[in-house]
Amino acid sequence: MKALQMEDFATGSMMGSGGFIVLDDTQCVVKHTYTLARFYRHESCGQCSPCREGTGWMEKILLKIDSGKGVMSDIDLLWDIQRKIEGNTICPLGDAAAWPVAAAIRHFRDEFEWHINNPEDCLRKNYGLAGYADEIHVPVLSNE
Ligand code: SF4
């Protein structure tokens, strides 16, 4: 039986967990995607490596972008990581972790680019991180 892929959904989105979050256009898609990634990294049981490693990588890269320290290639790296998780894990948590990242990039890539092109504005308007952005640990993931 073929595993479901994001492309199998007509809207390019999914509601696998039965819950949904409604955001207005004042909200930061990057920050909310980071929050989701953080949740899935925490929930990963670590049994299979795409989920165990991939959720952590996605969380780190999203935090890097959200903290104004991202580079353009981080977006493609994120895309690549979620593609390698999707369909390659034992349970559906891997897909559930990958799909929000895919949807965010597919539908809101301009917001990711804005964060990278405007690091100072990004920190100033970053909904709560601005006060302690220098204190949080942002890993350096060199991919350039
Ligand atoms: S996909 Fe499921 S089984 Fe695999 S590491 Fe993630 S939570 Fe564990």
Q: What are the structure tokens assigned to 138, written together?
A: 């942002």
Atom 4 (ligand 1) nearest CA: 48
pLDDT at residue 95 is higher than 70: yes
Spatial separation of the C-alpha atoms in residues 82 and 58, rounded to whole Å: 8
Side chain identity, residue 5: Q
Q: Is the pLDDT of residue 13 over 50?
A: yes
Which is it for the CA torsion 70, 82, 35, 107, positive or negative? positive
Ligand 1 residue neighbourhood (C-beta within 6 Å): 44-48, 51-52, 89-91, 93-94
What radius of gyration do the chain's Cα atoms show? 15
Do 143 and 63 contact (CB within 8 A), yes or no? no
> How many independent structural domains does the chain possess?
1
Q: Which of 52, 84, 93 should be mutated for ligand 1, with most atoms under 8 A from CB?
A: 93
> Which tens digit of pLDDT belongs to each residue from 61-79?
999 999 889 999 999 999 9
Sign of the Cα pseudo-torsion (8, 110, 35, 90, in order): positive
* Residue 108 within any structural domain of the chain: yes
Q: Residue 48 domain-assigned?
A: yes
In this prediction, residue 10 carries a pLDDT of: 63
What is the domain range of residue 106?
Answer: 27-124
Confidence of residue 25 (pLDDT cuts 50, 70, 90): confident
pLDDT at 98 over 70: yes
Q: Please, which residues have CB within 8 angstroms of residue 54's CB and are 6 or more apart in sequence?
A: 81, 82, 84, 85, 94, 97, 98
Query: What pLDDT is attached to residue 109?
Result: 95
Does 62 fall in a domain? yes
Please determine, for residue 135, whether its predicted confidence score (pLDDT) is greater than 70: no
pTM of the complete model = 0.80
